[in-house]
Structure 1
Amino acid sequence: MQMTQALTRAVQTRRNHTATIFAHRKRTWAEVGQRVPRAAAAFRALGLAPGDRLGILALNSDNYIEIFFAAAWANLVLVPLNTRWAVPENIYTLDDAQCKALIVDDAFVPQVPQLLAGHAMAHVIHAGEGAAPAGLLGYEALIADTPPMADECGRDDELCGIYYTGGTTGHPKGVMLSHKNFISASVNWIATLHFSEDTVYMHSAGLFHLAGCSPAIALTLAGGTHVCLPKFDAVLAFDAIQTHRVNYCLFVPTMVNMMVNHPDFSRYDLTSVRYCEYGASPMPVPVLAAAMEKLPTWEFIQGYGMTESAALTVSLPWRYHFDQEGMPSKRLAAGRAAYGMDVRIVDEEGTEVPRGTHGEIAVRGAQVMIGYWRKPEATAAALRNGWLHTGDAAYMDEDGFVFIVDRVKDMIISGGENIYSREVENAVHSHPAVRDCAVIGIPNEAWGESVHAVVVLKEGQIAAEKDIIDHCRTKIAGYKVPRSVTFTDSLPLSGAGKIMKNVLREPFWKGRTRAVN
């Protein structure tokens, strides 16, 4: 299996059809098929060798999708950087992955001097609009000036991309995904989520994220049309759907909530959409009900997965969003195993538990990652006896539907973004007045969950909620910063001396049936 198989098929079968739409620019699959081998050859001409890591920090665009395939064509390893992370976090990623070159767009050109401080980067490429700024190479000029090269893509279990996800140790972990991972996930996506050559798909999730990347590769394999939003904005989404007759979308629940409650919602014709996949965090029942009422032509499909499994692992089809006569309700389920994926609920020893019993979700299949980049201990902890242990607590009913009830890992999901409490705790702890702290997720109607810090101050020190929040803004990305802070004299500890976060969470989640919102 090779990543470039998706592109070569699209060019072969759909050459004169629209491949990408970005702003008012359209390219056919034939045009994309001509540009990618030139971009790949340009990367090689800059001295990048097979297996070298190529970083990219950019908003969504048609160029970004081309770069997925150009990197693979040249047998490079793409390292997408999170556009929402703070500069120190992306510096860590560039250093950890040992990137030899970096691609940026207009939005991130100002960060280049900081990103390169102390980092031996061979080249920085500008893939934005217009001429390249001084000191940067122009993506369009490289394509125009470089003859195409033959496809030298890696294959099967060879490394294709490193996707960084938040880490419980205070640093992000690089998830190593292979060519087989991506192509297997793409075939799964087509089979499970109804992608076809007629699909006109709108990218609103960031392409640095598997919720953006995975459908981009699957849609290319299907030969559909990519409509790229730089980033999610309700009005931009409304306009793109209406203008380009988008028939497929993916949103995290927060986006759906913003759209159905937007004052301009009724001004747009959104009836072209046939399917809407949602995931990354649970959809609050009132939000889903409002979306189903206001968007009656849309069929909603829930997807559950993780970076470590190249996204889609479990899905809940549209028909199960309704109560069926004589059947228990499945509306609150994450869904059933996607094609080609084994899913089990296991105990601490990895043994499958009886149906209806709570345990940890473990998955197995061709989509599961190679491991974590340069983190053998973390890899061994996650991949055990061929199974990926997800850290999500759930039960499975007699019909194979998975119901998520909590998270084994200490993770918060806010607005569809994974936030690991240890990372936030490190930032809070660095405040000079803080003696101890614990970070938990608490219910938030707009974002699903919000980050809450419980802080113990040093004796004689004074700090207010605003002081802690402002301090964290200098250390971590804005979406990870605590939205609220409470102060206490001590934290509850177990007999082993561990902070009992369940005790801290309990007052906030009291009366709810599950500890995720």
Structure 2
Amino acid sequence: MRFMSSLERAVQTRGRFPAVIDGETTRTWAEVGERVARLAGGLVAMGVEPGDRVAILAMNSADYLEALYAIARAGAVSVPLNTRWSVEETAAALLDFTPKVLIVDAAFRDQAPELRRRAGIASAIHMGPGPVPAEMEGHEALIAAHAPLPDRSGSGEDLCSLCYTGGTTGRSKGVMLTHANLTFAAVNWIASLHFSDETVFLHSAGFFHLAGSIPLFALTMAGGTHVLLPKFDAEAAMETIQRRRVTYCLFVPTMINTLVNHPRSADYDLSSLRLIEYGASPISLSVLEAAMARLPDCRFIQGYGLTEATALTLSLPWRHHFESDEGPSKRAATGRAAYGIDVRIAPPGGGEELPRGEAGEILLRGPQITPGYWNQSEQTAAAFHDGWLLTGDGGFMDADGFVHITDRVKDMIVSGGENVYSKEVENAIFAHPAVQDCAVIAIPSEEWGEAVHAVVVFRPGRSATFEEIRAHCRARLAGFKCPRSLEVRDALPLSAAGKIVKAELRAPWWADRRRSVG
């Protein structure tokens, strides 16, 4: 499997059709293919050799797409960097994988000198609008000055990219992804999530995250059209959907929640939308139902994955969101195994498969699974058991093969000897009409060991007392599952991938304790 084959197919079969729309810039697949080959020539002229790492610190753009493919064409390894990291975090990652070249755009141009100094990076490229600093090469100048480079990319188990984890459970790690990992993931996305050459996809998730880059690679393989936003903004997304007649989006639940509750949502024509893939974290049923009501002609597909599994590993098709002749609704499930992916529910830490319906840890195996972490052999060994990837996510598989996420294994609350899964409590709280967002965590309790604590964000102009929230939950849950305390915030802390950072919510409660849930 060759990563470059996806672009080559698009150029061959869809050359005259629009490949990417970035603001007012539109490029065809033929133009993208030519620019990628020339940029690859520029990288080689700068001294990039097969296996070298090339870092990218930038917002989403057409140039970013070209850089990812040009790096691969040159035989090098792309390393997209988290745009929400501090300079300290970015510098630490750079020292971890020692890139030959650093690529930045205007948003990070001012950080480049310090990052290069700390990591000893000799060469840098500036892409996108704005002046090119004297100590950098210009993206457009490299394209103009160099002939197309014949493909010298790798294949199969050759390393193609390093993607750093979100770091919500510890120090970020560089996940190694091969040509085979990325190519199989792209094919799987097309098969499971229905990309085609007619798809017009809105990219709002950052390309440094697989929720942003894998649909980029899959839609390139399909020959569809990429519509880019530099980052997610609810009103900008709605305006772009209306203007560009976007047919497909990927949103994490927090984005869907924002769109549904935006005061100007009804002002925009979103009728072109036909598919929305949601995932990256569990979604409350009330948020999903509100989104379906706002977009009645749109189908929703849930996807589940993680960086170590090259994104998509479970999917929940639209028809299983409802009761039908096939059986009861599976809307509460996360999905069933994607093509080529083996899924097992086992005791935490691995072992023999548990009976259907019994909760344990979700384990994965298949051609999308990473060979390991960059320069972290011990962490790699700890992530696997007998060839299976330990996801750290808790769940069970029902009789029809659908996996239900119960929680992060470490997020399970043990209160008075009873297991409480935070997602179940969050779903109940989300159903309260005053609640816009919420997270449920464990806090120390002298009486119960751990107590259920709710952190909520109320809708504008709405509120509720702790007693009202608890009574609302008590009508839906067993008493031991209901919150024993409530905290109100203006917003919840989010990771770069849009996930709620529960470790940040827990930290003040467990700081002086010998034992902590995370």
* Corresponding residue of 1:453: none
- Give yes or no for the alignment of 1:385 onto 2:386: yes
| One-letter code aligned to 1:405 | T
Offset at 1:371? 0.6
- Percent of aligned pairs with the same amino acid: 53
Q: Runs of 5+ in structure 2 lacking a partner? A: 413-421, 427-438, 442-449, 460-492
- Distance change >3 Å, CA 45–CA 284, structure 1 → 2: same
Matches within 5 A, 1:351-430: 351-409=352-410
Corresponding residue of 1:50: 50
In the other structure, the counterpart of 2:81 is 81
1:175 aligns with 175
Deviations 1:197-243 (CA, angstroms, capped at 9, x unpaired) = 11110101110000001010000000000001000001111111111
CA separation of 1:292 and 1:479: change in aligned 2, threshold 3 A: closer
Q: 1:470-481 residue pairs with structure 2 within 5 A? A: none
| Counterpart in the other structure of 1:125 | 125
2:27 is aligned with 1:18: no
RMSD between aligned residues: 2.8
SS of the equivalent of 1:143 reads helix
Q: Following superposition of structure 1 onto structure 2, how do residues 11-410 of structure 1 map, counting pairs within 5 Å?
A: 11-167=11-167, 170-324=170-324, 327-347=327-347, 348-409=349-410
Q: Distance in 2 between matches of 1:172 and 1:179?
A: 22
Mapped to 2, the partners of 1:365 and 1:261 lie a distance apart of: 39
Residues 126-135 or 172-181, more deviating: 126-135
Deviations 1:386-417 (A, max 9, x none): 21111111100010000011212569999xxx
Alpha-carbon distance in structure 2 between the residues aligned to 1:251 and 1:168: 19
Displacement of 1:283 after TM fit?
1.1
1:446 CA drift (Å): 7.9
Q: Map Cα deviations across residues 262-283 of structure 1 (whole Å, 9 max, x no partner).
A: 1111111111011000001111
The number of residues matched between the two structures is 447
| Shift in Å, 1:134 | 3.0
Q: Aligned residue for 2:517?
A: 501
Aligned mates of 2:500, 2:46 — CA distance in 1: 36
Q: Deviations over 1:69-128 (max 9, x none)?
A: 111100100011001111111111111011111101111112112322322102111112
Matches of 2:394 and 2:337 in 1, distance apart? Answer: 16
- Given that residues 277 and 302 in structure 2 are in contact (C-alpha distance below 8 angstroms), is that contact kept between their aligned partners in structure 1? yes
Indicate the larger mover: 248-257 or 375-384: 375-384
Query: How far, CA to CA, are the matches of 2:506 and 2:333 in structure 1?
Result: 30
Per-residue displacement from partner, 1:331-372 (whole Å, max 9, x unpaired)?
A: 110000001111110124421111001111111111111110
3-state DSSP class of the match of 2:118? coil
Aligned AA for 2:390?
H
Pair 1:218–1:444, CA change in 2 (3 A): farther
Name the structure 2 match of 1:513: none
- Judge conservation of contact 1:168–1:410 (CA < 8 Å) in 2: no
Shift of residue 135 of structure 1? 1.9
State the Cα distance separating 1:141 from its structure 2 match.
0.6
- CA deviations 1:28-49 (Å, max 9, x no partner) are 0000010001111101100111
Contact 1:257–1:446 at 8 Å: present in 2 too? no
Moved more, 263-272 or 212-221: 263-272
TM-score with structure 1 setting the length: 0.81
3-state SS of 2:119 partner:
coil
1:2 CA drift (Å): 0.7
User: Is the alpha carbon distance of 1:325 and 1:367 closer, same or farther for their aligned partners in structure 2, counting shifts above 3 Å?
Assistant: same
State the alpha-carbon separation in 2 of the partners of residues 332 and 3 from structure 1: 35
Q: Distance in 1 between matches of 2:170 and 2:249?
A: 33
Q: Give the whole-Å Cα distance in 2 for the aligned partners of 1:485 and 1:367.
A: 34
Q: Distance in 2 between matches of 1:317 and 1:57?
A: 35
Distance across 1 between alignment mates of 2:264 and 2:168? 40
Correspondences of 1:425-444 after superposition (within 5 Å): 443-444=455-456
Cα separation, partners in 2 of 1:131 and 1:342, compared to 1, 3 Å: same
Q: CA deviation at 1:327?
A: 3.3
Mapped partners of 1:314, 1:486: distance in 2: 34
- Residue identity opposite 1:224 in structure 2: G
Runs (5+) with no aligned partner, structure 1: 422-437, 448-471, 494-498, 503-517
Encode CA deviations 1:288-345: one digit per residue, 9 max, x unaligned.
Answer: 1110001111111100000001100000111122233683431110000001111110
1:196 & 1:441 partners in 2: Cα distance?
A: 45
1:506 aligns with none
Alpha-carbon distance between aligned partners in 2 of 1:301 and 1:156, rounded to the nearest angstrom: 29
Say if 1:127 and 1:441 are closer, same or farther in 2 by CA, change over 3 A. farther
Bigger mean CA deviation after superposition, 336-345 or 320-329: 320-329
Residue 6 of structure 2: aligned partner:
6
Contact 1:239–1:268 (CA under 8 A) maintained in structure 2: yes
Distance 1:410 1:98, change over 3 A: farther
Q: Which stretch shows the higher mean deviation, 6-15 or 63-72?
A: 63-72
Q: Residues 112, 394 of structure 1: CA spacing in aligned structure 2 closer, same or farther, 3 A cutoff?
A: same
Distance 1:445 1:405 in 2: 22
What residue identity is the alignment partner of 2:327?
M
CA shift in 2, pair 1:441/1:400, >3 Å? farther
